[in-house]
Amino acid sequence: MAMRIPYWHVDAFSARPFGGNQAAVMVLDEWLPDDVLVAIGDENNFAETAFVVRDETGAVDWELRWCTPTCEIALCGHATLASGHVLLTRDGGDRITFRTRQSGILEVRREGEGYELSLPAIVTTADTSAEQAEAIRLLGAEPLEVFRSELGYNVYQYENEAAVRALTPDIRGLEQLGTDQFIVTAPGSRTDIVSRVFVPGGGVDEDSVTGSAHAALTPYWAKRLGRDRFTAHQASTRGGDLTLRLDGDRAWLGGPCVTVVEGVFYFAG
């Protein structure tokens, strides 16, 4: 059966088109089969496509899922911010809540000229295991320290921003290590911290601006900086700036969004 799905292309964590991280946001009447969602994510060919369906339980506003070009994932920050931007712009209001399948309830609220997104803070611990040696070799430079979450977020701290920008990882080698995120970070020159994020096993060689990675970087750097609020820059080709704050077990990520394309995705079924 043919269907027409409302579609938005949003650049998240950017106040101008062609910056930040691209996401497709698609509003469904009901959930399509899982393989169809992944196929649509592949067709869109962004790091993530967000799918939303009205929540009927009354607990939250919408259900939310995300797909890369190759798989469904457990958490995506920038596509959640993009979804909040689309729905708050279309429907009005100051805040919106989403129920997810693996990451609990997420919230997007208006904040100044942009938005603020609440994600579960991802706590990492020091990892000196032998398994990290191969990842470090593939990243191409020895970090000062390595921290990891069992959720698959690996944080490698380097001395300065120049060291982070100079890395030329073996992407195809990292791809063989699974779907983990490889997050390289350092104190920033223009912002408090800087990072780059590689997820080749999940279909994203180098991500433009990664919300979920900053859910791990927020508690990591809050401890090292000795404060719960700071600024961040993801040094990808497109680049993106964020504000970060730690509030208990929540990481709040702030930034603007801009709609680049609004239309209809025609699906022949």
Write out the catalytic residue numbers: 48
Q: How many residues does the chain have?
A: 269
3-state helix, strand and coil shares in percent for the chain, rounded to the nearest 5: 25, 40, 35
Q: Select from 99, 81, 74 the least CA-distant residue to 25.
A: 81
Contact of 222 with 230, CB cutoff 8 Å:
yes
Q: How far apart are CA 176 and CA 82, in angstroms?
A: 30
Determine contact, residues 42/18, Cβ cutoff 8 Å: no
Q: For the chain, first and last CA: distance in Å?
A: 5
How many CB atoms are located within 10 Å of the residue 1 CB? 5
Tell me if 49 sits within 8 A of 79, measured CB to CB. Answer: yes
